[in-house]
Structure 1
Amino acid sequence: MILETPHHQHILQKRKSLIATYLCHIFDTLNDGLYITDKNGVTLAVNAMYENLTGLKSQDILGKNVSDLVAQGVFDVALNGEVVQTKKTATAVQINRKTRKVILVAHPIFDYDDDVEMVVTYVRDIALISQLKNQVSAQRQLIESFQYGICQENSSLYLTPKSQIMRELFRQLHKIAKTDATVLFLGETGVGKDVMARELHNNSTRRNNSLVKVDCTCIPENLIESELFGYAPGSFSGADPKGKAGLFEIADKGTLFLDEIGELPLPMQGKLLRVLQDGEIKRVGATSAKKVNVRVIAATNRDLAEEAENGDFRRDLFYRLQVAVINIPPLRDRGEDLLELIYFFLEQFNVRYKRRVRLSAMAEELMLSYGWPGNLRELENLIHSLVVTCDSNMVQVEDLPCTIVAKNAAMDSRNSITLGLNNFKGQDFKTIMGQLETQILKNAVSAYGSIPKAAKALGLNRSTVFRKLQKAEPAESEE
């Protein structure tokens, strides 16, 4: 046994004091707030991050019991009592008098007898957690888009076009694919810009490297820069300590497809322009740039010339993207390709669901004469729905959406009206409208096959349709 002299006791006390001081400095380096109490709930220490997160000052709470602080309204909940009683970690959301909302995660600290000696509570900012959650969600969407692209790679829409307009488009696309030029696809929503991007990549010298698709509408604005260019270690709170590669780096030596580039915020448009001009990217928080070898394909359904004129899109970026512009025509202008696409999707979904669904002659005729405002996406989704929902293996007119049948009925009526305008001479407005109504009802009945089905599609009572058609018959017989 060593007898401790007053000198030894002084040195020991000084060391304890130094250790306590160093511990406080260590606590201040943590990204989480820290709140330490003894087993009775007396506040022993808080760190600087706790003060920042809550707005509460250490001098106002040190030495005070958390029960008293709750009673005084300093904050609305404390977990110490629950942790001491259960000897288990507890979690809660706390709101203090500064109206700050934080998450508490309280842990027991045990002595040699396995009793709770202290409670250490980590305090985390809900806003930061929400930000990280959004980041994870955005990354999940990107991963899903990559998975979708991989799946589509195996069942791509590489049909030999039959229409003149599409044959010329593919000739132009294959010619541009051999170069390394930036490409801009223009066209309505759903025309197949992503399909064309894959076709171009697969016919380029980069086909053995990655094609990375980025939907500019799916990434939150505050995360776009870090997703495209990556970030350096320690760039922001909650970031991966090793840093993260951006999509430009992932696509190095390959192709980056920026879909819906018209949605890119103006500040990011400037950064993208510098990448296209210099072939360099700089991670968020980095001090030096990095060379990348990436071919950029962009696509939009917007009129970028008009957007640039109005100041909603950078002129210099617009001019930079105009190296090779390909306008993809809407489905309604592709002529004989439509029937090939219908059969392609039917075969694709029949194989997937082990079915043998086909179209009746009337259903096929209506689909061929429909305008398809949603283009390829609308066609694909409709056939997917028909294969999944049809009870029989033959799609009839009544299985089609009323929009397709009604629009065709209206078109037939308009054609009849145009051809028979001379018949309206000398007739008043009421008589003309009555004839138009009759013609529309007849076309609907012809398309759907019966009065009840036509009435249901038009949202009318079947007795109303029957009465109007019956009323029209005497007038026609008199003529």
Structure 2
Amino acid sequence: MGIFSEKLDMEKLHEGILDVLSDGIYVTDAKGKTLAVNQMYEKLTGLKREEILGKLVTDLRNQGNFDVVLNPEIVSTGQKKSSVQVTKEGRRVILNGCPVFDESGKVVLVVTFVRDITLLSQLQDQISSQQEVIDKYREVQNRDKMKRQNGAVIFESQEMVQLMSVLDKVAKTDATVLLLGETGVGKDVFSRLLHERSLRHDEPFFKVDCSAIPESLIESELFGYEAGAFSGANTKGKPGLFEMADKGTLFLDEIGELPLLMQSKLLRALQDQELIRVGSTKVRKFDVRFIAATNKDLDEEVKNGRFRSDLFYRLRVAVLQIPPLRERQGDILPLTCLFFEKYNAKYRKEVDFTKEFCNAFQNYKWPGNVREMDNFIQSLIVTRDKEILDVSDLPHYMLCDDININRSSMSVENRSLEELMSDYEKNLLKNALEVNGSVAKVAKLFKVDRTTIFRKAKKYSLL
């Protein structure tokens, strides 16, 4: 009697353990006989213990209790198997069957974990709907890499020192900031600096490129939308960037590309710090510091009716005009060293450059500004298999920047093609000799004999 009682208690214990598990559990022996199921299995499938215990899974399938069984294949192969099963009540569940072996390696039990496919689908929908939010929020963790070891951004020219002084003052306020400057000057960098040096530095920072979002999607991206607001909308709706940036900073890059209708809605959002999601009538409050940037002349855009004057005045609270790289020579060498260090570390190289190479960088006008330099140095380090880069590694156009060959600066009136080409050749050689310092290096650069360079230099009285 005592042994029977002990056995009964152990069965209850095992049953209790199975019932605390969050997955449905279905246990069979090697013949497919149902030995145990837990409460979660009953809940997921609608099948009761008393209906299935002691019965073969194949019989239960033939009776229409469910359409798929895993036991026979797992016993024959000794391998795990997964499948989707539909119960007699139309419930869909995921089965993950696992074999249990005895000491001789024979399958004696099959334990099947059962999960609700509907629940998994709902979780997948939730993950999908939030993926964009997660991706954008990761920008909060991205910090500008253009920094010294002491944490200061590399700006050494007098122009940038003065600009940074103004930036520090503006950053401590909640004033809207308008960043102006050519493409590639670093407006994105300055927007992050403004955020990092503000009282909101621990809150979210989001960037939206107004030129990259289709016009039909701009409103829903900024303001968000409610469930069913339009065809293809997420079934649970989605917050917009205004809401996601709440308490933090929102950077509106290329704001000059914003359509006029959205300019009007943006103006109201800026003034009232309120929004209404697409498909909703509910007004939502938010608290965001706005930074906008453009390479366009907004004064001219306003005159031509392409940009609202009231929005322009609302944005023009604090204006930071970022000068192009060609107007701040003092930053070229520090930035060159920074990018070499950055990409040497990234590609595990130790590439350096000569003084002549650096002089060419200083003389070049950098029409693409800092972005051009960044990408160009990365390309050099990736494509050159040398430890020391010289001017011979630079494209010809970088050595001709001081030559006035464009139509706006080169007079062609009453001059023959021969005369124009002669002047071009003279200026090209003059610039190359000044940068490289010797006939031999220029000859190597242009892939000609030294005597050719020497002869032409003498012809133009350059030596």
For Structure 1 versus Structure 2, the TM-score category normalised by the shorter chain is 0.5 to 0.7
Alignment of 1:26-65 (within 5 A): none
1:262 paired with 2:256, answer: yes
| TM-score computed with the length of structure 2 as normaliser | 0.63
Contact 1:184/1:321 (CA < 8 Å) preserved in 2?
yes
Contact 1:356/1:393 (CA < 8 Å) preserved in 2?
yes
1:212 paired with 2:206, answer: yes
Task: Name 2:79's counterpart in structure 1.
Answer: none
Alignment of 1:159-198 (within 5 A): 159-198=153-192
- The 3 A distance-change label for structure 1 pair 454 and 218 is same
Identity of aligned residues (%): 47
C-alpha displacement of 1:242: 1.4
Contact 1:149/1:213 (CA < 8 Å) preserved in 2?
no
Please, which runs of 5 or more residues in structure 1 have no aligned partner? 1-108, 110-135, 419-427, 457-461
Task: Name 1:343's counterpart in structure 2.
Answer: 337
Counterpart-to-counterpart distance in 1, 2:460 and 2:322: 50
Contact 2:225/2:237 (CA < 8 Å) preserved in 1?
yes
Q: Which moved more, 1:296-305 or 1:235-244?
A: 235-244
2:430 to 443, 452, 459: 443
* SS in structure 2 of the partner of residue 281 of structure 1: strand
Which residue identity lines up with residue 172 of structure 1 in the other structure? Answer: V
- The 3 A distance-change label for structure 1 pair 270 and 466 is farther
Task: Name 2:48's counterpart in structure 1.
Answer: none
* SS in structure 1 of the partner of residue 367 of structure 2: coil
Contact 1:366/1:405 (CA < 8 Å) preserved in 2?
yes
Task: Name 2:246's counterpart in structure 1.
Answer: 252
C-alpha displacement of 1:475: 8.8
- The 3 A distance-change label for structure 1 pair 282 and 397 is same
- The 3 A distance-change label for structure 1 pair 468 and 278 is same
C-alpha displacement of 1:436: 2.3
1:379 paired with 2:373, answer: yes
Task: Name 1:399's counterpart in structure 2.
Answer: 393
Which residue identity lines up with residue 194 of structure 2 in the other structure? Answer: L
* SS in structure 2 of the partner of residue 407 of structure 1: coil
- The 3 A distance-change label for structure 1 pair 451 and 253 is closer
C-alpha displacement of 1:399: 1.0
- The 3 A distance-change label for structure 1 pair 207 and 336 is same
Q: Deviations over 1:259-304 (max 9, x none)?
A: 0000111111011000011110110000111000000000000001
Contact 1:146/1:213 (CA < 8 Å) preserved in 2?
no
- The 3 A distance-change label for structure 1 pair 143 and 153 is farther
Counterpart-to-counterpart distance in 1, 2:185 and 2:375: 13
Counterpart-to-counterpart distance in 1, 2:417 and 2:277: 71
Alignment of 1:65-80 (within 5 A): none
- The 3 A distance-change label for structure 1 pair 238 and 351 is same
- The 3 A distance-change label for structure 1 pair 176 and 469 is same
C-alpha displacement of 1:437: 4.6
Task: Name 1:225's counterpart in structure 2.
Answer: 219
Counterpart-to-counterpart distance in 1, 2:330 and 2:365: 14
Task: Name 2:15's counterpart in structure 1.
Answer: none
Counterpart-to-counterpart distance in 2, 1:214 and 1:475: 54
C-alpha displacement of 1:364: 0.6
2:281 to 268, 287, 298: 287
Counterpart-to-counterpart distance in 2, 1:145 and 1:395: 38
1:361 to 347, 355, 362: 355
Contact 1:441/1:469 (CA < 8 Å) preserved in 2?
no
Q: Which moved more, 1:389-398 or 1:207-216?
A: 389-398
Contact 1:331/1:376 (CA < 8 Å) preserved in 2?
yes
Counterpart-to-counterpart distance in 2, 1:259 and 1:452: 46
C-alpha displacement of 1:359: 1.1
- The 3 A distance-change label for structure 1 pair 222 and 450 is same
Task: Name 1:237's counterpart in structure 2.
Answer: 231
Task: Name 1:299's counterpart in structure 2.
Answer: 293
Counterpart-to-counterpart distance in 1, 2:203 and 2:266: 21
Task: Name 2:271's counterpart in structure 1.
Answer: 277
Task: Name 2:96's counterpart in structure 1.
Answer: none
Contact 2:159/2:328 (CA < 8 Å) preserved in 1?
yes
Q: Deviations over 1:404-455 (max 9, x none)?
A: 02324x26x99xxx9xxxxxxxxx9789657525523533663574566554
Which residue identity lines up with residue 443 of structure 1 in the other structure? Answer: K
- The 3 A distance-change label for structure 1 pair 371 and 145 is farther
Which residue identity lines up with residue 442 of structure 1 in the other structure? Answer: L
- The 3 A distance-change label for structure 1 pair 235 and 474 is closer
Counterpart-to-counterpart distance in 1, 2:282 and 2:312: 27
Which residue identity lines up with residue 220 of structure 2 in the other structure? Answer: S
